[in-house]
Structure 1
Amino acid sequence: MVLIVGSGAAGATAARELAFRGFDVTVIERGPCIEDRDAFRCYDESTGTPDLLSTSCVGGSTLVAAGNAVRVLEDRLKDYGVDISRDLDALEGELGVSELPETHIGRGTRLIMDAAESMGIRVRRMPKFIRPSECKPCGKCSFGCPRSAKWSAREFIVEAVEHGAELVTGTEVTGIIVEDGAVRGVTTSGGSFYDERVILAAGAIETPRLLMGAGIGAGKTFFMDTFITVGGLLDDVGFCDELQMAALIEMEDFILSPHFSTLLFPGEMKRSVLGLMVKIADEASGRVEPDRVVKHHTEADVKHLSEGAALAGSVLVAAGVRPDTLRSTHPRGAHPGGTAPIGRVVDENLETSLQGLFVADASVLPEAPGAPPILTIMALARRLARHISSD
């Protein structure tokens, strides 16, 4: 049997692959099993600094993601002896990853794309794991797709269960059972589960806390793919109802992508808001502690955010936004990671110093991707499942 803690991109992928290979798999999830459209109810409360976005439910944050499927850190991981190229290829095929057709590019996004191109900036449609025939653009990706047109890890959990995996919901893992330098199971709010193989996929905040409790020095580094949204007003552009992040501008130190945020203007003005997300690969200058997350942005981080904000403002003005209405949100964290990095906390097979204890989520990423990492996280989990099945 294999115990998997967490049912997001990593946990669901590992569960599915191992169940397909005939393993007895138990997935333990803190949150409930819900319909995609109800995902907004499962956002974790973020009350402090940094402001981190996460959800607790079957499928995890994939239910509220924008459906972006970008190959990140593929070459960097090879420096650590980790080749995920064939896993990325396979996942792109299984998930039907593609750039969405012009019918799904809204007016506001098209204005941004045309403006960027007129400035000599290369822009492309964002590759996504969204089924175009089922998608009716509505701007609700980050709340849970009302039509289930976007792939989420919940689909992989369903497949895993169909192949014999057990799903335990509403149960929080509280500790790792260790004996003679090897894992023997986990303790939970609902009792103990025993097995000699455990995969932690609880996310880059909770996973290092579990590792710390087992005596492993995790959580000493932390990044979050810091982002802001720059926006302004263009009368009745209707951008708030469009498919979000449908285009991608890749610069050396940041990316830009069309993005609506309710933080920019009061609700009655939302139909006239046009915005661009600025996302950076921030330095791993934070840490995770048992009761808090500490994050300080470096001088380089601030510089890259500022440069991105300036370019975003220029593109938005070229798209028709009134310059005197430009403003920005506060920095937030989209993709927490790097808290149990490959080469320091786990080896190339994602195994810790405790025999049989593996990590498969964004904790293992050696540096910030600066772009959506879901596909890469899934590829790492897929590779791990293959390693376990061949062991």
Structure 2
Amino acid sequence: MVLVVGSGAGGATLARELAIRGIDVTVIERGPCVKDSDAFLCYDEAPDVDILRTSCAGGSTLVAAGNAVRVLENTLKDYGVDITEDLHAIEAELRVRELPDTHTGRGTALIMDAAESLGLGVKKMPKFIDPDKCRPCGKCSFGCPRAAKWSARRFLDEAVEHGAVLIEETEAKNIIVRNGSVSGLRTSRGDFHDETVVLAAGAIETPRILMRAGIDAGNGLFMDTFVTVGGILEGVGFCDEVQMNALIELDGVILSPHFSTLLFPEDDRRNVLGIMVKIADERSGRVEADRIVKHHTVRDISLLSGGAAIAGSILSRAGVGAGTLRSTRPRGAHPGGTASLGEVVDENLETSIEGLFVADASVLPAAPGAPPILTIMALARRLARHIVSVL
């Protein structure tokens, strides 16, 4: 049997791949099972650093924007990890594609046209969203009310159909170790015993479990820091569009149409047009037992401010009143790096404790600066093959 802690992009993919191959799998999930449309109720509190993440079956994939971009593919090869074929397979299965023009709203079109008029390269964002099911409503980051967007819940359901066991609302506490090898997991519902444990609890909780097992983890935190820049354009109705449906790639920065309620909480949301400015931040943070520490470096601040200035120019060209422009505070979207390849895990994602693996963004050696869901899934598929080969 294999114990998998967490059921997001990594955990659910791994559980499905193992279950399909006839391996007994038990998935330990801290959060509850909820409907896709209720995923917004499962956002975790962020008392130290504002990092967007959820605790529920399917993890943060339920509140992701459905963006499907390849990240860190070549970087991982430098560590002896080739995920190219796995990425091909995932893209085919999830039917990754650009949405048709019928799903491009007025606000997104204005942003795209304005960016092109400024000489910026713009393309549509590839998505794992079924356009036949999608009725643009702006709720991608709250949980899709029509389940038009792929989420890890689908893989988790398939894993259960093939015999996997899901134990929800259960917190992983400590790794049980005997003679340098893993022999089980201590949880809030008692002990589970097995010689293979995979941590996929995310880049905040996974290193904490590792630290309690005596492994030096938690350093090198990145979080793909972002701000949303926006202003007022009367009646644009951008809040009801498919979010992040276009992509502008700059050096170390991406820009994408994005609505945030934090910009103008006092104004009619239908009058707000915004752009997300996201950077591949430096690994300048750390996860500790009871807090998260993250510093923004000079480089990070320079990238954010430069990207925000460009976003402001695009919005002004799109018709937003220059005197209305403002920005949110910096937040984090994709934490990772806290159990990195070459530092905490080897090329097979195994730790110094035999039989203890990691299959989430913790293992990423650098900030992707874009959603890493496909990369995490590809790493999990690769790990599944390795685990099958050694069982």
Letter in 2 for 1:201: A
Q: 1:116 & 1:9 partners in 2: Cα distance?
A: 32
Q: 1:267: Cα distance to partner?
A: 4.7
Partner of 2:6: 6
Q: 1:153 & 1:353 partners in 2: Cα distance?
A: 28
Letter in 2 for 1:34: V
Partner of 2:22: 22
Letter in 1 for 2:27: V
Letter in 2 for 1:227: F
Q: 2:181 & 2:28 partners in 1: Cα distance?
A: 20
Partner of 1:364: 363
Letter in 2 for 1:39: A
Q: Deviations over 1:136-181 (max 9, x none)?
A: 0000011100000000000000000000000000100011001100
Q: 1:274 & 1:296 partners in 2: Cα distance?
A: 29
Letter in 1 for 2:18: L
Alignment of 1:27-38 (within 5 A): 27-38=27-38
Q: 2:127 & 2:40 partners in 1: Cα distance?
A: 20
> Cα RMSD (Å) of the superposition?
0.6
Q: 1:185: Cα distance to partner?
A: 0.8
Letter in 2 for 1:204: A
Partner of 2:210: 211
Partner of 2:279: 280
Q: 1:12 & 1:68 partners in 2: Cα distance?
A: 18
Name the SS of the counterpart of 2:384 in structure 1.
Answer: helix
Q: 1:390 & 1:128 partners in 2: Cα distance?
A: 33
Alignment of 1:156-195 (within 5 A): 156-195=155-194
Name the SS of the counterpart of 1:19 in structure 2.
Answer: helix
* Structure 1 stretches of 4+ moved >2 Å: 266-269
Q: 1:27 & 1:266 partners in 2: Cα distance?
A: 39
Name the SS of the counterpart of 2:184 in structure 1.
Answer: strand
Q: 1:180 & 1:24 partners in 2: Cα distance?
A: 24
Q: 2:235 & 2:37 partners in 1: Cα distance?
A: 26
Q: Deviations over 1:3-57 (max 9, x none)?
A: 0000000000000000011100000001111110110111111233x20111110
TM-score by length of structure 2 reads 0.99
Alignment of 1:244-259 (within 5 A): 244-259=243-258
TM-score by length of structure 1 reads 0.99
Q: 1:186: Cα distance to partner?
A: 0.4
Letter in 2 for 1:195: D
Letter in 2 for 1:169: E
Partner of 1:292: 291
Partner of 1:237: 236
Q: Deviations over 1:339-359 (max 9, x none)?
A: 000011000000000000000
| Count of residues in Structure 1 that have an aligned counterpart in Structure 2 | 390
Alignment of 1:116-195 (within 5 A): 116-195=115-194
Q: Deviations over 1:317-364 (max 9, x none)?
A: 111111111000000000000000001100000000000000000000
Partner of 2:114: 115
Partner of 1:41: 41
Name the SS of the counterpart of 1:277 in structure 2.
Answer: strand
Name the SS of the counterpart of 2:383 in structure 1.
Answer: helix
Q: 1:187 & 1:353 partners in 2: Cα distance?
A: 19
Q: 1:263 & 1:58 partners in 2: Cα distance?
A: 27
Q: 1:282 & 1:230 partners in 2: Cα distance?
A: 18
Q: 1:373 & 1:125 partners in 2: Cα distance?
A: 18
Partner of 1:77: 76
Q: 1:349 & 1:274 partners in 2: Cα distance?
A: 44
Q: 1:175 & 1:129 partners in 2: Cα distance?
A: 35
Letter in 2 for 1:369: P
Q: 1:70 & 1:253 partners in 2: Cα distance?
A: 15
Q: 1:122: Cα distance to partner?
A: 0.6
Q: 2:266 & 2:166 partners in 1: Cα distance?
A: 39
Partner of 2:66: 67
Name the SS of the counterpart of 1:204 in structure 2.
Answer: helix
Name the SS of the counterpart of 2:186 in structure 1.
Answer: strand
Q: 1:257 & 1:235 partners in 2: Cα distance?
A: 20
Q: 2:279 & 2:178 partners in 1: Cα distance?
A: 41
Name the SS of the counterpart of 1:10 in structure 2.
Answer: helix
1:105 aligns with 2:104: yes
Q: 2:294 & 2:34 partners in 1: Cα distance?
A: 32
Name the SS of the counterpart of 1:91 in structure 2.
Answer: helix
Q: 2:234 & 2:43 partners in 1: Cα distance?
A: 31
Name the SS of the counterpart of 1:276 in structure 2.
Answer: strand
Q: 1:335 & 1:304 partners in 2: Cα distance?
A: 17
Partner of 1:307: 306
Letter in 2 for 1:329: T
